[in-house]
Amino acid sequence: MNPWRPFPLIRLIIPIITGTATALLIRKEIHIPLFITLFLILLLIASVFIKSLTLFYQRRWLTGMLIFILLFLLVYENTIRNNDLFNQDYFIKQGIGQKFYIGDLVEPAIQKQKTTKAVVNVVAVDCSGTWISTKGKALIYFQKDTRSEHLFYGDRIIFRTEFTEPQSAGFPHSFDQKRFLNNQNIFYTGYINSVYWKTISYHRNQDLLRLALSMRNRLLQILRENQVQGREFAVTAALLLGYVDEIDKELIKDYSATGAMHILSVSGMHVGIIFLVLEKILGFLRKGKYGILIKTSLIILLIWFYAMLTGLSPAVLRASVMISLVAVGKAMKRQPDILNILSASFIILLFHEPTLLLNVGFQLSYLAVAGIVLLYKPVYDQYITSNYILDKIWSIVAVSIAAQIITFPLSLYYFHQFPNYFMLTNILVVPLSSLVIYTGIILLILGSVPVVSVFLANILIGLVWFLNHFIHFIEGMPFALSRGVYLNIGQTVCIYLLVLTLSLFLFYKKKMYLFLVFIFSIGLTGSFLSQRIHQLKSRKIIVYAAKNLPAFDFINGGTSILLYDPKVRDNVYFEENHQATCSALGIKNNLRIMLTSGKINSSGLLFHDCFYKKGDFIQFYDKRIGFLNRQLPALVNRKIHLDYLVLTGNPKVTIDQIKKIFAVDEIVVHPSNSRWISNEWKAEAALMKMKIRFVNETGAYVIQF
């Protein structure tokens, strides 16, 4: 019997993921000709319905291959058409520069310390006095004032700004803002001074999402009115309503280090609780003639209203689609397999929004549910007890293990850390967070009842206080977190194969699986060994792209010689990201030299055989690097030959002046230079056909030789 027969939708996921990923990775406007698609559809019809054709009867696998190719092409075309860059009405195609635009806020505005951040759909652009209709999202930073603090989803504004591309990652292994935004179909950002924008329409109560967000604000106000404040408010708002704007970095660090980060985002558990509550409340509707239809419709409507209320995160979207399908199945008196439901929700969401495939939350959410569905029972069956309390504790542990088994390789790949006490954390956190949710829901319903609301608020505050302190206690325990684990894609895939074969061996005890475990273990060990050997042999120069923090690394195997500006010293942002870079590159020894001094600011050894510094010039092996942050050196009889000339701190020079003094292969412009000076250098270099790199556009520049 074909083991895939009960799960037809799982087989469809493979071509859908492949086609979507291909389009997202190549990011080129290559459309599939219509006649090819029509031809494949005709072939598929022939292979399915004309059974007498000998060709298709003898080669039935062709039907599957045709379905694969057809789905691949369809989702590829759908992904291309969903990319704003390829839209003929994309706002940036009307030219870049200081222009007037009209845009609608398509997400709730987020309040930062000095700015208000909002995603705006640009619907029109002013071109020489004529308004032209456009499309496309952009990330806007408003100068913070009382007006920007009251911006709301759906507001239409007119504004003036100059759009630029987001800055790439300043460090080779740090968070890449540009990639993150591009994966959300956002390719440009802009800053607006408070005098260059105004609201022209409020769009109040125009759609369900705006109504949901308005209600969320009212519910948040109920919490505040009942004296839920500080970290207790931040966690409660995140748990109940998906509002995460007030969670501080220390709180995120604690939850992340203990494996409880999923608690701070509304997920499938929350939607499931809402579903169960609605099932109980609306149970009376089953008796009427159209009761089931009315009940199902109300449940689906309210589930999606709650999803909108919480901000439509990927995990909530996944859970909402799945529960909607389950509700429809129950109304039709059918019990579809959970894996088919999971696959159907995946296909629906990915077809609607292809960029979700690159969303980390989306990936981890589906993997976690798949892990629980596939592995929970085999793990749970390893320990059977008649004790009710022990059974419930083991059930929670089994769920945590099942989810962690299938998500930890991807978590290591993205976050480079592993919470060692995740089981201990979840034993208390899961039931406690459920209790917080139920208490919070009751408080939101009875928030206006004087005595009852105060009583419930005190219980809620106490529960969340205890939750936060328990998480902080676990985070402070020895060896709570394994840090600095950096995997490449090949190693991540190998770990997944190792986990799969090891699980199969433990559950089915077949020697073949044990043999595969050894094979993948050897492959993974060999990969780590090869990576380490490569690291020890590597020679790199890294120009970090941290704005106003000039720093340059000279990597010699396991040693880093950092040339840095005084501004870098004691800068927390730089230190954290530089440490991450060193961990990823296997660097054990760190030497530091002030950019403006010839002295070494550490007791470490300066490698004279490969690194030599004199004034503003560096010799690193056979590479010669010069730094220019003020005036040019005096003219000499012959030009100074350099491989790279790095410009920092807005030196008052022109490319022509540089060319008279230096014979340089490439000019590197650091982000510490102002944009208008950089643009002048870019124009000059283009005329003179000189090679020039702008680190603010490309991200950290890694020179490997």
Confidence label for 603 from pLDDT (cuts 50, 70 and 90): very low
Confidence label for 45 from pLDDT (cuts 50, 70 and 90): low
Higher-pLDDT residue of 139, 302: 139
* Whether residue 137 is found in the same domain as residue 42: no
Q: Is residue 385 part of a domain?
A: no
Confidence label for 465 from pLDDT (cuts 50, 70 and 90): very high
Task: Give the type of residue at 38.
Answer: L
Quote the CA–CA distance of 23 and 350 in Å, as a whole number.
Answer: 13
Tally of CA atoms within 13 A in the half-sphere of 592 that contains its CB:
12
Task: Give the type of residue at 214.
Answer: S
Identify the pLDDT of residue 634. Answer: 67
Identify the pLDDT of residue 13. Answer: 87
61-65, 116-120, 123-127, 197-201: range with lowest mean pLDDT: 61-65
Question: Please, where are the H alpha helices in 102-259?
Answer: 177-182, 208-225, 230-241, 249-257
* Whether residue 575 is found in the same domain as residue 694: yes
Beta strands in 550-695 (DSSP E): 551-556, 559-564, 589-594, 611-614, 617-620, 623-628, 640-647, 662-669, 692-694
User: Rounded to an integer, what is the distance from CA 232 to the centroid of its chain?
Assistant: 26
Which domain-ending residue is among 35, 56, 81?
81
Identify the pLDDT of residue 598. Answer: 43
* Whether residue 164 is found in the same domain as residue 306: no
Decide: pTM greater than 0.95: no
* Whether residue 700 is found in the same domain as residue 563: yes
Which domain-ending residue is among 334, 366, 387?
334
Identify the pLDDT of residue 261. Answer: 80
Q: Is residue 390 part of a domain?
A: no
Q: Is residue 480 part of a domain?
A: no
The SS3 assignment for 493 reads helix
Q: What domain range is 50 assigned to?
A: 8-81
pLDDT more than 90, % of the chain = 18
Identify the pLDDT of residue 428. Answer: 86
Structure tokens of 607?
Answer: 């490698």
Cα–Cα distances in angstroms (integers) from residue 669 to residues 432, 544, 651, 673, 698, in the given order: 53, 11, 11, 7, 11
Q: Is residue 34 part of a domain?
A: yes
* Whether residue 605 is found in the same domain as residue 674: yes
* Whether residue 65 is found in the same domain as residue 37: yes
Q: Which residues contact 474 (CB under 8 A, 6 or more apart)?
A: 258, 421, 424, 425, 480
Quote the CA–CA distance of 422 and 411 in Å, as a whole number.
Answer: 13
88-92, 119-123, 295-299: range with lowest mean pLDDT: 295-299
Q: Is residue 130 part of a domain?
A: yes
What's the DSSP call for residue 604?
S
Domains in the chain: how many in total? 5
34-43, 159-168, 462-471: range with lowest mean pLDDT: 34-43
Higher-pLDDT residue of 646, 369: 646
* Whether residue 61 is found in the same domain as residue 95: no
- Candidates 425, 313, 402, 392; CA nearest to 359 is 313
* Whether residue 171 is found in the same domain as residue 132: yes
Q: Is residue 421 part of a domain?
A: no
- Candidates 542, 467, 503, 558; CA nearest to 172 is 542
Tally of CA atoms within 13 A in the half-sphere of 314 that contains its CB:
21
21-25, 41-45, 598-602: range with lowest mean pLDDT: 598-602
Contact between 177 and 170 (Cβ < 8 Å) = no
pLDDT more than 70, % of the chain = 90
Mean pLDDT of 22-43: 76
Identify the pLDDT of residue 604. Answer: 40
pLDDT tens figures, 172-214: 888 888 888 888 889 999 999 989 999 888 765 456 777 777 8
* Whether residue 590 is found in the same domain as residue 571: yes
Mean pLDDT of 314-334: 78
* Whether residue 157 is found in the same domain as residue 95: yes
Q: Which residues of 411-447 are buried (b: 16+ CB within 10 A; e: fewer)?
A: bbbeebbbbbbbebbbbbbbebbeebbebbbebbeeb
Higher-pLDDT residue of 469, 340: 469
Residue 98's CATH number: 2.40.50.140
165-179, 281-295, 649-663: range with lowest mean pLDDT: 281-295
Which domain-ending residue is among 21, 48, 81?
81
Confidence label for 409 from pLDDT (cuts 50, 70 and 90): very high
Q: Is residue 575 part of a domain?
A: yes
Confidence label for 602 from pLDDT (cuts 50, 70 and 90): very low
Q: Is the dihedral of CA 315, 318, 324, 328 positive or negative?
A: negative
Identify the pLDDT of residue 265. Answer: 72
Mean pLDDT of the chain: 84
Mean pLDDT of 123-148: 90
Identify the pLDDT of residue 141. Answer: 94
pLDDT tens figures, 491-526: 999 999 998 898 888 877 888 889 999 999 999 999
* Whether residue 574 is found in the same domain as residue 628: yes
* Whether residue 552 is found in the same domain as residue 651: yes
Q: Is residue 246 part of a domain?
A: no
Confidence label for 62 from pLDDT (cuts 50, 70 and 90): low
